[in-house]
Amino acid sequence: MKILFLHRKDLHHPEAAESEIHLFRIFEKIASYGHEVVMLASSFRDANEREEINGVKVVRSGRGGFLYRLGLKRQIRRLNEEFHFDIVIENLDERPLLVAQKTSLPTVVLVHQLWKTAIFRESFSLKALCIWLWELSIPSFYGRSEFIAISPSVMRELVNLGLSQKRVSLVYCGADSVPEYFAAESKKERFFLWRSSEKHSSGLIYALDAFETFSRRHPDWNFLLRIIGNFQKEKRLPYEIRRRGLGDRVLVELNASYERRMDLIRRAYCLLQTDRQQGWGYAAIEAGKCGTTTIAPDDSGYKDCIRDGVTGLLYSPEKGVQSCVKQMEHLCEDEKLRENLQANAKRYADAFHWGRTANEILAVLQKTIENR
């Protein structure tokens, strides 16, 4: 199979983040099966026009998002004359590429997340309004495309927009294996770990509120809150920590390395996730592979990857911060429960791997080509 994959940032792009790593995990696995995968990405300073990365042929054109989208139709046509593709895949991002309007080839759209009205919790701006409006118009712009959703929540959201359920396939996101040097069990330490995701930090203040309440109720438990991530939006974070009197109980690390992140995850008493809009709770799966359970909201993709009371604990954001605090207390007061959650989370998380994701995506692509 010859596949053209559209996504603005390749793995070597200066702005590449965790989502690009995940995408390459999938498509480098597909390439390793003998399929030809070409990625059309945008250019950047000092970038080669063509480069092979882990078996994926990367072609760069158009520096910046605007120029990349402007020349997309011409570039697709030019590359198709060279490679003779069987199918084109678009990774749906904040700024749509409208692949179905740029080629007559069969098209598939990969969807990791829809913002819906949650975009206004992150930013109340013209950009947020545009993202919300174009998401509503997805059925109109992608009338002949097939869709792949990475979680049941995303699948339901696409169907609720007006897409036929027959056009939406569910393929769960994979996850990396834990490196061997982190495979041994680590003693759990008395800290909650809050980890920012790539595009979310709105839940950070909620986490501080929950930890403040928890700490005031149980000062003798001597818990810390560790915050890791590469978020830049919360410039008021130092002030919010001081205002709550948590200066010596909240530790913040920006841009932590992969090794540092994995070390903290496996040592954490619990992963505390409070961002409410997630297409798939990858952080919970990653924590599970390290033998760490998760507390998370029940109104996002976390409810798709956490079995409440079995692999982790869910709380209702609609009931206020007390709902989260109650689960934090429940976990700390019941050692047997925590041990069971940890063991179950690891068994559950180990079922998710990139080979499974790649094989299921290939099945969707083959079906789309055959049904054209």
Distance from C-alpha of 136 to C-alpha of 275, rounded to nearest angstrom: 22
Looking at residue 275, its pLDDT comes to 83
Q: What is the β-pairing status of strands 56-63 and 50-53?
A: antiparallel
Count CA within 13 A, CB hemisphere, residue 299: 13
pLDDT digits 0-9 by tens, 250-280: 999 888 888 899 999 999 999 999 987 667 8
Residue 123: predicted pLDDT: 64
User: What's the CA gap between 68 and 89, in Å, rounded?
Assistant: 16
Residues 6+ apart with CB under 8 A from 359: none
The 10 Å CB-count burial string (b at 16+, else e) for 16-41 is beebbebbbbbbbbbbeeebbbbbbb
Q: How many angstroms separate the CA atoms of 17 and 37, rounded?
A: 21
What does the alpha-carbon distance between residue 322 and residue 340 come to, in Å, rounded to a whole number? Answer: 24
pLDDT at 236: 78
pLDDT of residue 117: 55
> Using only C-alpha atoms, what is the Rg of the chain?
21
Evaluate whether 80 touches 105 at the Cβ level (below 8 Å): yes
Please name every residue paired with 111 in a beta bridge, in sequence order, or none if there are none: 149
> Taking a C-beta distance cutoff of 8 angstroms, is the pair 152, 334 a contact?
no
Residues 6+ apart with CB under 8 A from 117: 132
**Residue 190 · residue 224 · CB < 8 Å:** yes
Task: Choose among 189, 211, 320: nearest CA to 265.
Answer: 189
Task: For each of the domains in the chain, give its residue range(s) and CATH number, in order of start.
Answer: 2-174+353-370 (3.40.50.2000), 180-349 (3.40.50.2000)
**CA pair distance 58, 6, nearest whole angstrom:** 10
- Angle at 298 (CA atoms; ends 297, 301), nearest 5 degrees: 90
Cβ–Cβ contacts within 10 Å for residue 172, how many? 19
Parts of the chain with a pLDDT under 50: none
What is the rounded distance in angstroms from the CA atom of residue 119 to the CA atom of residue 97? Answer: 19
Alpha-carbon separation of residue 171 from 75, 79, 178, 278, 331 (angstroms): 29, 28, 22, 16, 31
CA distance 337 to 91: 39
Asked if residues 158 and 111 have their Cβ atoms less than 8 Å apart, the reply is yes
In contact, 246 and 213? CB cutoff 8 Å = no
DSSP string, 257-314: -HHHHHHHHHH-SEEE---S--SS-HHHHHHHHTT--EEEESSSTHHHH--BTTTEEE
Nearest Cα neighbor of 324 from 350, 294, 352 is: 294
* The total number of residues written for the chain in this structure: 372
Q: Which two tokens stand for residue 93?
A: 């991002």
Measured between alpha carbons, how far is residue 135 from residues 9, 66, 80, 181, 325 in Å?
21, 19, 28, 43, 34
Contact present, 292 and 265 (Cβ < 8 Å) = yes
